[in-house]
Amino acid sequence: MSNFSHEFLKFALDREVLRFGEFKTKAGRLSPYFFNSGLFKVGNDFIQLGEFYAKAILSSGIQFDVLFGPAYKGIPIVVATAMALAKKNVDVPISFNRKETKTHGEKGDIIGNDLSGRVLLLDDVISAGTSINESNELIMSNGGRLAGACVALDRMEQGNTRKSAIQEVEEKLNIQVIAIANLENLVSYLGIDIENQAKLKRVREYRDKYGI
């Protein structure tokens, strides 16, 4: 899927959602790159983003009944993905949550479809696995089962062990986590253009220090 992944990385770079510099991660590490899906801003961005997620999901073969986007970044992702899937004749319900439970009107903390059946979670990245573990608890409390997860970028960094946060989540929850692109795709993408050699050097050094 490298060509597909490279297309996504170019898209993210063009929209300045993927940036290079010096960024402090949640783990306190100084990273030479940073991905923030909250920087997608216009309608065409989300049309393309949904297409990338849809392609990754369909190519994975994961079976699911509902798409779930955790608040807040997962909400536009799940809407865009559902629309892209519908264009491919895969019309599936979506669900997302509120950060605070509403106590009036329709009440509750779930909007859209209920979380019964096999639920596929969509998010931008998995840093420490906290968000996906919280989502799993929410899904189970609503009678559903987490069928898997799809993220935009797998940083392929060591988590609490020598395994990555995604590998830890896969083992703990017994699910498959797929990514549109990962760190190895980023390294190979940067290696194509000689103008990116300085960035490539820093990314490789970071991978050698913190990668799995």
pLDDT band at 27 (very low <50, low <70, confident <90, very high): confident
Q: Residue 155 has what DSSP assignment?
A: -
Q: What is the pLDDT of residues 169-188, one digit of tens each?
A: 999 999 999 999 999 999 99
For residue 107, is pLDDT > 70? no
pLDDT band at 204 (very low <50, low <70, confident <90, very high): very high
For residue 129, is pLDDT > 80? no
Q: Is the peptide bond preceding residue 33 cis, with omega within 30 degrees of 0? A: no
Q: Give me the catalytic one of 10, 41, 87, 102.
A: 102
Q: Give me the catalytic one of 26, 99, 104, 107.
A: 104
- Average the pLDDT over each of 24-33, 65-74, 99-108, 149-158 and give the range with the smallest value: 99-108
- The Cα angle at residue 127 between residues 136 and 118, in degrees rounded to 5: 25
Known catalytic residue at 6: no
> How does DSSP assign 63-105, residue by residue?
--SEEEE-TTTHHHHHHHHHHHHHHTT----EEEEEEEEE-ST
Q: For residues 136-152, give the mean pLDDT.
A: 96
Q: Are 136 and 111 in contact (CB under 8 A)?
A: no
**Which domains are assigned to the chain?**
2-205 (3.40.50.2020)
Burial of 142 (0-12, 13-18, 19+ CB in 10 A): middle
Indicate the pTM of the whole model.
0.93
Percent of the chain with pLDDT over 70: 95
Number of C-beta neighbours around residue 178 at 10 A? 20
Q: For residues 25-29, give the mean pLDDT.
A: 83
For residue 86, is pLDDT > 60? yes
Looking at residue 103, what is its pLDDT? 58
For residue 104, is pLDDT > 60? no
